[in-house]
Structure 1
């Protein structure tokens, strides 16, 4: 059953600077932050972990994205999108016993600006990030890695669908 969501769009300067951002759901946020989405705790794997572990772990927790961290430094290296991983398995590109590093998407840090998303990030900024306003590339994003203020720890992953579900539950 489809649900229609009425919104009054917020038009104004982007909370991220640069191009103006138009929020579809600003009337529903009312000061809410990423913490209000209650993102589940992050599940991070190491690049050497087998793909089968990534699949089992994601299915057990109903996660669509898993973060990949360095086994020694715990530095964030990239992520695995489970739907993409499943397609790679189905096509024979990777095997369940292959390391996650063979299928992961790497984060590009050098020369790239990126938006830090924390539990205190306003939902307007998260929406702008998903719409490509904060990624610097103008490309839409499906998820955001939520970290602490100092970017030392991965706390969770917030998805576009998490934001959409929040808006559906929030009265107008």
Structure 2
């Protein structure tokens, strides 16, 4: 089946993603790790004081650093986050609830997850992973 037909016109909001969990850049790593495990998240977007995404933390990697003594519970997540690189060579890709799934799939080929924002990029709505697309396809009986 052609990729454009694969999702039958579905958009990101059709994935029915849970609300995003984010942390502020000044949050402690202990609290971030605890919250991530409570919610079963492997990556957490890190926001600035204006709620704009700065980057993300990889929870498993952060936990390993903490257990290895390379991070203290009270350290701030900003010290351990992976920053988003926005340049003219790598512009920001806007993913909103109305983004077609075929576009989300293309974005996820080069990224481990997508941050879904409102169209004005003022707040984070959800996170999406390749697994979300796989679940959607299998749940709706679409051919891959």
Instruction: Answer yes or no: same fold by TM over 0.5.
Output: yes
The 4+ residue runs of structure 1 with deviation greater than 4 A are none
The reply on whether 1:162 has 2:126 as its aligned counterpart is: no
Higher radius of gyration, 1 or 2 = 1
Q: Any residues of structure 2 matched to 1:112-131 within 5 Å, and which?
A: 112-131=90-109
The reply on whether 1:61 has 2:39 as its aligned counterpart is: yes
Higher relative contact order (CA 8 A, sep 6+): 2
* TM-score, normalised via structure 2 length: 0.88
Equivalent residue, structure 2, for 1:146: 116
**Could you tell me whether the CA contact under 8 Å between 2:52 and 2:121 is conserved in 1?**
no
Q: CA deviation at 1:27?
A: 4.7
Q: CA deviation at 1:35?
A: 0.6
Q: CA deviation at 1:92?
A: 3.0
* Structure with the higher fraction of residues in helix conformation: 2
* CA-to-aligned-CA distance 1:2-47 (integer Å, 9 cap, x gap): xxxxxx2x2xxxxxxxxxxxx3xx5541111111111111222111
Q: Which moved more, 1:151-160 or 1:109-118?
A: 109-118
Q: How much is the aligned-residue C-alpha RMSD, in angstroms? A: 1.6
CA distance in 2, matches of 1:149, 1:37: 17
Of 5, 9, 14, which aligns to 1:36?
Answer: 14
Aligned residues: 141
